[in-house]
Amino acid sequence: MGLPAGDTQLVQIMDVALADAARRAGDWLACRPGCTQCCYGAFAINGLDVARLRAGLEALSATDSSAAEAVRKRARAWIAEFSSDFPGDPTTGVLGTTEDDQARFEDFADDAPCPALNPATGLCDVYEWRPMTCRVFGPPTRMEGGDDQTPSLGCCELCFIGASESEIAACEMPVPHELEAELVTETGNSDETVAAFALLS
C-alpha cells in the first residue's frame, strides 16, 4: 500500500507544532540547516515512515534523478557495510523484536550517517518526507506511553543548554501519537526497519 491520504494532515500538524515550539524556544533551539546531530546512528522507523520516504524518493526522482540515485547509492553502501550485524532480517530489513535484537540495536551503526544525508550540503535530500523521529528531534517532546505528569522531557543534547526544567517544559512540542498509530495501521505494515532499507526499495 502507498502513503495514506491522512499523512498530509499529520505532516501539517507536525510542521505547525515545530514552528510554534521553535518560536517559544528561541535561541534555546540549536537546530539549523547543516546541523546533522540527528542524522547519525540507526533508528527504528515504522510502516508510515517507510511509505513516506519511498514517496519522497519517487518525488525526488521526478525532479532530480541524479540526486535520487545518489541517495539509493548511499543506501546500498550503508546496507553492504552494516547488514552482517543487522539485528533482524538483513534481507528484508525488518528489525528483530527479541530482547537480544533490541539490545543489539542500541549500539548498531551508531556513528553511521543516514543515507538521506547529503554529505556535500549537510542537508537531508528528502527533508519534506522525513520520518517522525526526525520531525520530533530537537524540541522537548514527551515519548509515547510516557507519564504525562513526568516533569522531564526529552530533547536534543545540543538544545536547551543551561535551561531549567520549567523553561524546557514551556517549549514542549505535542506529538499526535494516536493519529500516527491510525495511519501506520492503514499502511498494513506493522514491521519496523531503518531508513536505508526504506530508501533502497
pLDDT of residue 144 exceeding 80, the answer is no
Cell of 20: 510554534
Q: Give CA torsion, residues 35, 39, 45, 47, to 10 deg.
A: 70
This prediction has a pTM of: 0.92
166-201 pLDDT, tens per residue? 999 999 999 999 999 999 999 999 999 999 999 997
Rg, C-alpha atoms of the chain = 17
Pairing of strands 123-124, 117-118: antiparallel
78-104 pLDDT, tens per residue? 999 999 999 999 999 999 999 999 999
39-69 pLDDT, tens per residue? 999 999 999 999 999 999 999 999 999 999 9
**Cα 149 from Cα 175, distance rounded (Å):** 16
**Cα 52 from Cα 75, distance rounded (Å):** 16
pLDDT > 70 fraction of the chain, expressed in percent and rounded? 95
Reported as a pLDDT band with limits 50, 70 and 90, residue 151 is very low
